[in-house]
Structure 1
Amino acid sequence: MQEFYRIIGSATEEQRQNLAQLTGSAFGDSPETLCNHIRYLRAGSIGQLFWNNSWKQVVTDVADHIGIDWSATLNGRNWHDLETQEIEATVVSKLFQNMLEQLSPEQQQQIVMEMARDANDPDIANLLVGGSAMAVAKMSGFGVYLLASTVLGGLTNTLGITLPFAVYMGMSQTIAFILGPIGWVALTGGILFTINQPNWNRLANAIVYISILRYLPSSG
């Protein structure tokens, strides 16, 4: 868990509080507590005592659980050759695709165009409309940030979690206006259906938020 510890260790207190809220950490938001909480979410009350795998393995386990396309992710490489953030981006992309599939073509188009406007890059719209969210994830850290902030907005809205407005880059309010309350439920239906255990839900929340922290300057 050294990589996870390094990221949250360089995060701000507010960012750690956000992560604690997203993952249901009831015992605080120190880096040590959050690391232990991730172990608990992955291995359970007893299993955490013996579980000492890496953050990369946690992300991989969630990726397996939601059914990512490993052949596309590996692209001829071995798992050991992948950076953790590549797998994180793949998870975020898969969650985004699951969300988008729940919407009508018109709603999909509205969200994609809003994301392209915020990115100031029309190519992102073309990639997303073509069903190539993975290409956006691999394109840049900002592409991952766009996907992650959109997914996070859907998750927190549906689960009733409130985070500082800045976390969402302003997108959640605009998309909420486009979809309305019923649309938010539909948007996250694909995630909550696929990840149907509380621990997997919270681990997915952690991966999405860590993807955002990687982009922010304060996270190193």
Structure 2
Amino acid sequence: MQEFYEIVSSATEEQRQNLAELIDAGFGNSPALLCDHIKYLRGGSIGQIFCNTSWKQVVTDVADHIGINWPEVLDSRSWYELSTQEIENAVVMKQFQSIFEQLSQEQQQQILMDLQRESDDPHIEGFVLGGSTMLAAKMSGFGIYLLASTVLGSFTSALGITLPFAVYIGVSQTLSVILGPVGWAALAGGVLFSLNQPNWNRLILSVLFISTLRNSTDPQVSQRITKQSCLEQQSL
């Protein structure tokens, strides 16, 4: 879990607390405790004792669970040649598509207009409509951040989790009411959780949130997020 530990160690106290709320970590938000909770979510109360997995393996397990298209993502490479971020991006794209496909045509158009308004990527509509997890590799860091924060907005609305508005930008904030019920449907397959089985809902949320943290470290993404947060604060 070294990669996960390093990412959350670089996060702010507020960001770690947001992650702790998302994954229902009730014992604190230190990097070590968050790592331990991820192991608990993956292995259960007993399995966590023997869990010595990497963050890349956890993300891979989540990708398997939601059914990403591995041949597309691998693109003639081996799993060892993939970066963790590539697999995270594929999870983000897959989860976004799961929600997007359940919307009416009017709602889809509304989301596409909001994404185009917020994003500096002229190809984002093609990426979304293409529905290919392989296309995630071609998206800008800000594009991935937009999709990840939008899906997070949907899921947190569905689960009744309230995070600071600065976690989301644009599309995820304006469409949370529309996306909430759809987000619940997209998560429904992983709702049940026993003490010795993976909690896929919370693991999916952790992957989405880590994706936002990872992409927000890009200076251009960070600048856009800061600008957007300032504009939203002025509008309150």
| TM-score, reference length from structure 1 | 0.91
Whether contact under 8 Å (1:59, 1:88) holds in the other structure is yes
| Partner residue in 1 for 2:66 | 66
Alpha carbons of 1:23 and 1:187: their partners in 2 closer, same or farther (altered >3 Å)? Answer: closer
Matches within 5 A, 1:21-32: 21-32=21-32
Question: RMSD in angstroms over aligned alpha carbons?
Answer: 2.0
User: Which region of structure 1 is more displaced relative to structure 2, 31-40 or 103-112?
Assistant: 103-112
> Distance between the aligned counterparts of 1:136 and 1:53, measured in 2?
25
| Partner residue in 2 for 1:120 | 120
Alpha carbons of 1:176 and 1:38: their partners in 2 closer, same or farther (altered >3 Å)? Answer: closer
Segments of 5+ residues of structure 2 without an aligned counterpart are 194-198, 223-236
Segments of 5+ residues of structure 1 without an aligned counterpart are none
Instruction: Give SS of 1:49's match.
Output: helix
Matches within 5 A, 1:40-189: 40-132=40-132, 134-176=134-176, 179=178, 183-189=179-185
| TM-score, reference length from structure 2 | 0.85
| Partner residue in 1 for 2:17 | 17
> Distance between the aligned counterparts of 2:173 and 2:91, measured in 1?
24
The counterpart of 2:188, out of the listed 160, 176, 193, is 193
| Residues 2-44 of structure 1: CA deviation (Å, up to 9, x unaligned) | 0000000110000000000000001010001000000000001
> Distance between the aligned counterparts of 1:130 and 1:57, measured in 2?
27
> Distance between the aligned counterparts of 2:133 and 2:42, measured in 1?
27
> Distance between the aligned counterparts of 2:158 and 2:11, measured in 1?
25
Identity of aligned residues (%): 59
Aligned residues between the structures: 215
Instruction: Give SS of 2:28's match.
Output: coil
Alpha carbons of 1:187 and 1:109: their partners in 2 closer, same or farther (altered >3 Å)? Answer: farther
| Moved >4 Å (runs of 4+) | none
Whether contact under 8 Å (2:145, 2:216) holds in the other structure is no
